[in-house]
A and B are shown apart, each in its own frame.
Chain A
Amino acid sequence: MTGTLPPVDVAPPEVEEDAAPATPEFEAASLRQERRRGLLMALPAYGYLVLFFALPLLIVVVYSFATRNRFGGTDLSGWNIDSYRRLGEPLVRDILFRSVALAVITTVICLVVAYPFAYYMATRSEAVRNLMLVFVMIPFWTNFLVRNFAWRVILGTDGPLSQVTEAVGIGETRLLFTQTAVVLGLVYGFLPFMVLPLYADIERIDGRLLEASRDLYATGAQSFRHVLLPLSMPGVIAGSILVFIPSLGAYVTPEILGGAKTTLLGGYIVTQFLTARNWPFGASLSFVLMAVMLTATIVYFRKGGRTL
């Protein structure tokens, strides 16, 4: 700034008469005070968490140890762990296994598709980058349910996809109501959650590091393996968790695109609460699901990850 400033009356800085001297005790006290102030500001958020997360979770836990009575209600007495024992039943084990497998597959596909895309996006000019970001977000403008039904139309036996394959001569496609359709729908739905953290991380990487690696005799593949990938690992982990968690508990997509043979955890839990009217069992399933998600998240933060 080279502009002239108005003259200022230079008065000695006002010193509070009884200001405490800067001693270790004083520092500790001011730190405590700062913490207290911080706590005050975080209070609404904490309140929200307790009211809408901790409390419902507690209710779920309590119900999971309760007993289902003959009329489909729940008796909050006769505490037992029967509903947890049922997790070992072959049918339940299958559903758990299938849910985890599909969530893993979805996550891996998302990662493989999103990484090159995010890299491409991160290495474009500012204008192109922003445009691509908008494209990534556009699907969110339409209701998730509507988009899933759109896929139902696309994948149906008389849908556009099938018509194309028929015209080409491969015959009609029977994708709808298969696990493939579910994975496709999940990948479609959660891809942005993979792209965005990856993009944010790759965009931050100094391109000169990649050039330096090439200068030091790395091939393109080695440069990716030893420099780009390790440096974008936080994004890979963040994106994977962001895709894996909702995929594991997905309800809408498997319901709409999956068939009877593809029941997943989300749908099974709903069945327990609404159709089977076995609230304790539904609660125990929910609790297990939530425990898996929480563990995944905690592991991520423990491994030095940054905020999602």
Chain B
Amino acid sequence: MTAAVEITGVSKRFGDVVAVDDIDLRIDDGEFFALLGPSGCGKTTTLRMIAGLDFPTTGSLKIFGHEVGTLPPNKRPVNTVFQNYALFPHMNVLDNVAFGLRMQGTDKATARSAATAAIGLVRLDGMERRRPAQLSGGQQQRVALARALVNEPKVLLLDEPLGALDLKLRQEMQGELKSLQRELGVSFVFVTHDQEEALTMSDRIAVMDEGRLLQIGTPEEIYERPVNRFVADFIGQTNLLEGTVEDGATVCLVNGARVAARSDLTAGTRIALSIRPERATIHHRDHGTGPDAGSAVDGEVVAVTYLGNALVHRVKLDWMEIEVREANDPDRPRFAVGDPVTVAWDPSAAALVADR
């Protein structure tokens, strides 16, 4: 099957700035694909190159098998929902949505009826005559979506489309976007810097930093098996315990403690163990229910935060502080600041990540 978008060895430089640094990316047809990374990491630039608004400095970019390197945007079967929507302020909603079809030479009546249908799809019926300035942020966002979708693009590019919305509206739109994508079966390339958004919506995620692609995978792969420190830290919260590989089954932490961790890395490789706060458990040290010393560290509670459904304990180790999050279970013992504790985890819950 040909990929919807295939990017091979693409770089983009603006003068001295390397915005995108030699990335390889394959987006399947009908996939919800997220580009995730911190501000300035090159997400928008990548999207713009797919759209044809910027051209790669080097590399090959194919859309459904056709090389599109320097093809202008109007000749590509993709449409974009822009970061700030970029609705035409001098046109009403109907003309905004009909614009793409009109430019392709569709006659006015056909374009208008298709636009009306698209406006219905994003549930804005009755707003056809309004100007963008007379719409709320969420409504503008829907118009931008309808304006792109009405052209039936093969790939829809979305640049932080929910960034300007408040939390509640955003969650609502996340659901709507996802179901719309399923319904239409179009590939969505969704740019965001919100890891939660990426995790909940995407089939696959590409994590970027400083122009480079760090990891591509399903939300689960990215969350459970981050390839390096940056990914582990960026996706969700985590505790990173630094150490070196001792052998295929053991890691020596910086304080000298040996813990179990499987890997096929050579002895002496510097790594970090990523342990999610909710995957660790906390125990009173004197209770004798001592967990397996092979996957535990000792420390002292320095803070307890009550979250209602959960409790977060900050535990001070000899060399750093870590966090443990436990469900609020009345049967579990409580901990107070100053308690000596042991923090333990299931060896399979600790991910070995490159320490970089």
A binds B: yes
A: which residues have CB within 8 A of B? 206, 208-209, 211-219, 222, 226-227, 230-231
Pairs A–B under 8 Å by Cβ, sample size 9? A209-B86, A212-B80, A213-B103, A214-B53, A215-B80, A216-B147, A217-B100, A217-B151, A226-B99
Chain A residues, CB < 8 A from B147: 216
Provided the pairs A216-B99, A216-B151, A218-B103 are in contact, do residues A211 and B86 lie with their beta carbons within 8 angstroms? yes
**In the bound complex, do residue A227 and residue B88 qualify as a contact, i.e. CB atoms below 8 Å apart?**
yes
How many residue pairs, one in A and one in B, have C-beta atoms under 8 Å apart? 57
In the complex, the answer to whether A231 meets B89 with C-beta atoms within 8 Å is yes
Q: How far is the CA of A215 from the CA of B82 in the complex (A)?
A: 10
Contact of B74 among A206, A219, A227 (CB under 8 A): A219
Interface of A is mostly: helix
B115 to chain A, nearest CB (A): 12
Known A217-B74, A217-B151; contact A212-B86, beta-carbon cutoff 8 A: yes
A213 contacts which chain B residues (CB < 8 A)?
88, 99, 103
Interface centre among B86, B90, B104 (most CB of A within 10 A): B86
Q: Are A214 and B73 in contact (CB under 8 A)?
A: yes
Q: Give every chain B residue within 8 A of A208 (Cβ-Cβ).
A: 82, 84, 86
B52, B88, B100, B148 — most chain A CB neighbours (10 Å): B88
Q: A215-B52, A216-B147 are in contact. List 11 more A-B contacts (CB 8 A).
A: A208-B82, A209-B86, A209-B89, A212-B86, A215-B53, A215-B79, A216-B148, A217-B104, A219-B74, A230-B90, A231-B89
CB pair B103–A212 under 8 Å, yes or no, is no
Out of A216, A219, A222, A230, name the residue touching B79 (CB < 8 Å). A216
Interface string of B78-101 (1 = CB under 8 A from A): 111010101111100000000110
Which residues of the partner chain A approach B52 to less than 8 Å between Cβ atoms? 214-215
Which residues from chain B sit less than 8 Å from chain A, CB to CB?
51-53, 72-74, 78-80, 82, 84, 86-90, 99-100, 103-104, 147-148, 151
Q: In whole angstroms, how far apart are the Cα atoms of A231 and B91 in the complex?
A: 10
Q: How far is the CA of A214 from the CA of B82 in the complex (A)?
A: 12
A211 / chain B contacts, CB cutoff of 8 Å: 53, 73, 82, 86
Chain A: CB-nearest residue to B147: A216
Contact A217 B103 (CB under 8 A): yes
Q: Which one of A209, A215, A222, A226 lies within 8 Å of B51 (CB-CB)? A: A215
A123 to B73, CA, bound (A): 20
Contact of A216 among B84, B89, B90, B103 (CB under 8 A): B103
Please give me the residue from chain B that is nearest to A231 by CB atom.
B90
| A209–B79 CA distance with the chains assembled, in angstroms | 14
A222 contacts across to B, CB distance below 8 A: 103
Closest 9 A/B residue pairs (Cβ): A216-B100, A212-B86, A217-B103, A208-B86, A214-B73, A218-B103, A217-B74, A215-B73, A215-B80
Which of chain B's residues has its CB closest to A211's CB?
B53
Interchain CA distance A217-B106 in the complex, whole Å: 12
User: In the complex, A214→B52 CA distance in Å?
Assistant: 9
C-alpha spacing A218/B72, complex, angstroms: 10
Expressed in whole angstroms, the minimum distance between the Cβ of A217 and any Cβ of chain B is 4
Which B residues are in CB contact (< 8 Å) with A215? Answer: 51-53, 73-74, 78-80
Q: Check B74 against A214 for contact (C-beta < 8 Å).
A: yes
Alpha-carbon distance A185/B23, docked complex (angstroms): 57
Which residue of chain A lies nearest to B83 when distances are taken between CB atoms in the complex?
A: A208
Are A209 and B88 touching (Cβ within 8 A)? yes
Enumerate chain A residues within 8 angstroms of B90, measured Cβ to Cβ. Answer: 230-231
Inter-subunit contact B53/A218 (CB<8 Å): no
Bound-state Cα–Cα, A215 to B144, Å: 12
Q: How far is the CA of A213 from the CA of B91 in the complex (A)?
A: 12
CB–CB B86/A206 < 8 A: yes
Please report the C-alpha to C-alpha distance between residue A209 and residue B51 in the assembled complex, in whole angstroms.
14
- Taking the closest CB of chain A, its distance from the CB of B267, in whole angstroms, is 49
CB distance from A251 to the nearest CB of B (A): 39
B330, chain A: closest CB distance, angstroms? 42
Please measure, in the bound complex, the distance between the C-alpha atom of A212 and the C-alpha atom of B88, giving whole angstroms: 9
Inter-chain contacts of A216 with B (CB < 8 A): 74, 79, 99-100, 103, 147-148, 151
Distance between B166 CB and nearest chain A CB, rounded to angstroms: 23
The distance in angstroms between the C-alpha atoms of A250 and B260, with both chains bound, is 92
Which of A206, A214, A216, A226 has the most chain B CB atoms closer than 10 A to its own CB?
Answer: A216
| A231 to B87 alpha-carbon distance, docked (Å) | 12
User: Which partner residue on chain B sits nearest A205 by CB separation?
Assistant: B89
Bound together, the chains give a CA A172 to CA B87 distance in angstroms of 55
User: How far does the alpha carbon of A212 sit from the alpha carbon of B78 in the complex, in Å?
Assistant: 12
Report the minimum CB–CB distance from A45 to chain B (whole Å). 32
**B82 and A212 form a contact (CB under 8 A):** yes
Cβ-closest chain B residue relative to A206: B86
